[in-house]
Amino acid sequence: MIRYEETGHVFTLETAHAAYQMMADGYGYLQHLHFGGKLGGGSCDGLRPVWATAFSASPQVDVERQRYSLDLTPQEYPTAGGGDYRTPCLSLTFADGARNVELCYASHRILKEKPALEGLPSLHGACETLEITLRDRWADLEVVLLYSVFEEYDVIARSARIVNRTGAPVTLNGVLSACLDLQEDDFDFVHFHGRHAMERMVERTPVAHGEVSVGSVRGTSSHQHNPFVIVCDRSATEDSGRCWGLSFLYSGNFIAAASCDQSDACRVVMGIHPQGFSWRLEDGESFQAPEVALCYSGRGFGALSQSYHKLYRHCLCRGEWALKRRPVLINNWEATYFNFNEEKLFQIAKAASELGVEMLVVDDGWFGNRFDDRRALGDWVVNTEKVRGGMKALSDRLKEIHMRLGLWFEPEMVSEDSNLYRAHPDWCLSVPGRGRSRWRNQLVLDMSRKEVRDFIHDEMAAVLSSADFSYVKWDMNRHLTDVWSAALPADRQGEVHHRYVLGVYELLERMETEFPHILFEGCSGGGGRFDAGMLYYHPQIWCSDNTDAIERLEIQYGSSFGYPISAVGSHVSASPNHQTGRVTPFHTRGVVAMAGTFGYELDLSAITEEEKELVKKQVKQYIRLYDLINDGNYYRLTDPAACCLTAWEMAAPDGSRALLSIVYSHVRANLYPPILRLRGLTPDARYRLTGDDGKVYGEWTGAALMEAGFRPPRQHDAYPHGCADYAAFQIELTRVEG
């Protein structure tokens, strides 16, 4: 709900459990008043006055009194150059070299829908939108702020559009999407850092005087930092405390920062990283900043995560596969790498089909002269020496055994040893007269150029039209360097990073519109572009190249704070694991992979008969419990970095059933496992607890399981699965009627 009070110019946005309030003050500046619990219909105006102090200048409009300073005022969209020395959302240079911007309220309107953001991912669905136009006091420059209220999900989507009507070009030096000025300082900053094959590790640090920031200047959201952060009370836990989430719907360079100022107030900002960014905005043109999904929870991290999970499943992911059950797949990569032919692929598929698997994904190596990672990227033509008869012949054979076909692409990259590079060397990002950086023996195509995107589109479309494909894995295996485009003049090279991302989005939109029945999965060396922007185009993303089940516990734990289970690509892989060499039970690998889009990443024809029976059981279990796993409320019961075991729960929204998963990551002598207090159950109902091996653990009330808690089985009790190391348990809770 959006409410405007003309007296006082107060705007109030309400969701199911939260309120967001701001006002156009007496000088026309848009002040932030509140984002937190509901206000009972009242206003916060005057509750927390601020005054000017020494060395905080007053603007021209307060020159007589000098009692007002933007340096101390909580603002909705702060700017540079006007006396606010904190981190700005907007910094620019006018044609005359001036850099100060002074935005004041001009007008607003309330819409009954959410406008799409041209060329960018954005939330969709039932909502109201507040559009506030701010205008520079001295020049005809406008900033249009958009606030879309998704009441059911406790989320407000924010973005900004810069409109130049000055009569001359303006250079944008920094455009962030959202700012929260919270008038307190006792907060922690939670972010998700990592590296390739170890993404989204949780780190919690106090917000102090100065600034704590995370971000990426790698051209993608990156493995190293994720464009999702939380600011929270120092005492916040899974089930209590105030939390503010900021999730950036963007897949390129970003920054998220929090700082305390001289008045002990906290400013949090998020948007495109200003490093390396500039944008020439001609007179009459506009620049649209990407969207930030803001969420407030007064009930801890768990409620915050569940809001994002539901929102992204229902209001971000699109198309046929947004909510549809995904097929259980087998990927050939770890089974064959580049060494395969159509018969080997068919035998892998046949073995998988007999165990209930539904789709074969042919990974890298099916195209051009691609026998290793040194050549042929960009030559998207089926190698008929490897796959005789082409993909149609393979697809037809797979249909006979009731298997679908999927395919791997890396569209944004090119090998120097390729027909594409030999024909168009200028299509790469590369600075003339300077050396080039390389990784995996490949260069990056300039996706900002239409002719490049058209070529990739035509190549991919020809392949995907040649056979009956159900799935595409869209990979990207290096970050951007030597960022320079032959298609832009020298003074516009600062636009390349953003134009690259817009180009990727345009190509994705085009491909998915033409092939709506294909499930597209995102990937960037695993989780290097695991962000909300990509979820708009890919309803699932390969979570990490690290398929070690024990390592995945931390990776998937961190991912769960901001992203739904249905987005997490997760497979059972070989043991010893190819990334770590760790040996883990087959059952444990299945339990961990079932906290994501389930599949296999190994040669199922080479496993034991006992393991084949486990595969049959796992596939049936996953399909039977799919709705519970993906639509249930997700609860983190332990922190894998701080406990000998990792436990998580998916509970049906109506409390009728739940699935409890437990994995031991650290075996200790004489261990008493910790009590697990379950969540999401009906307090006065009784639940029967049954293991996936058929063992009944007993019946208890929901209240007993949630308040007194359940002590899980010891790791030694998993001996029926063949090993006590890294033991796992999967326990189903069923409400007993009558």
- At 461 the pLDDT is 98
Q: Which amino acid is at 144?
A: V
Residue 738 has pLDDT above 80, yes or no: no
Closest CA to 179 of 26, 35, 11, 5: 35
Nearest to 144 by CA among 182, 175, 183: 175
What's the chain's average pLDDT?
96
Give me the DSSP letters along 385-431: TTSTTHHHHHHHHHHHTT-EEEEEE-TTEE-SSSHHHHH-GGGB---
Between residues 7 and 281, which one has the greater pLDDT?
Answer: 281
Nearest to 48 by CA among 264, 220, 327: 264
**pTM for this entry:** 0.97
Asked if 514 is an active-site residue, the reply is no
pLDDT digits 0-9 by tens, 629-656 = 999 999 999 999 999 999 999 999 999 9
Which CATH number applies to 635-736? 2.60.40.1180
Amino acid at 21: Q
Q: What percentage of the chain reaches a pLDDT higher than 90?
A: 92
CB-based contacts of 673, cutoff 8 Å, min separation 6: 644, 645, 711, 712, 713, 714
Whether domain 329-626 has CATH 3.20.20.70: the reply is: yes
Q: What share of the chain is helix, strand, coil (3-state, %, to 5)?
A: 20, 30, 45
pLDDT of residue 48: 83
Q: Answer whether the bond into residue 576 is a cis peptide, omega within 30°.
A: yes
Residue 735's CB is within 10 A of a number of other CB atoms, namely: 17
Q: How far apart are CA 735 and CA 701, in angstroms?
A: 9
- Average pLDDT over every residue of 618-636: 98
CATH of domain 2-315: 2.70.98.60
572 - beta bridge partners?
600
- Per annotation, catalytic residue among 71, 521, 611, 732: 611
Q: According to the model, what pLDDT value does residue 179 have?
A: 98
Catalytic residue (one of 199, 238, 412, 531): 531
Per-residue pLDDT at 57: 87
- pLDDT digit string, tens, across residues 404-459: 999 999 999 999 999 999 999 999 999 999 988 988 899 999 999 999 999 999 99
Which pLDDT score, from 0 to 100, does residue 724 have? Answer: 67
Q: What is the pLDDT of residues 297-313, one digit of tens each?
A: 999 999 999 999 999 99
To the nearest 10°, report the CA torsion of 364, 369, 372, 375. -100
pLDDT confidence bin for 588, thresholds 50/70/90: very high
Exposed, middle or buried, 682 (CB in 10 Å: 0-12/13-18/19+)? Answer: middle
Percent of the chain with pLDDT over 70: 99
Backbone angles phi, psi at 13, to 5 degrees: -115, 125
> Which DSSP string corresponds to 279-333?
EEE-TT-EEEPPEEEEEEESBHHHHHHHHHHHHHHHHT--STTSSSPPPPEEE-H
537 vs 253: CA distance, rounded Å? 18
Compute the distance between CA of residue 346 and CA of residue 352 in angstroms, rounded to an integer.
Answer: 10
pLDDT average, residue stretch 314-336: 96
- CA-CA distances (angstroms) from residue 384 to 39, 365, 374, 611? 67, 12, 20, 34
611 carries an active-site annotation: yes
Residue extents of the structural domains in the chain? 2-315, 329-626, 635-736
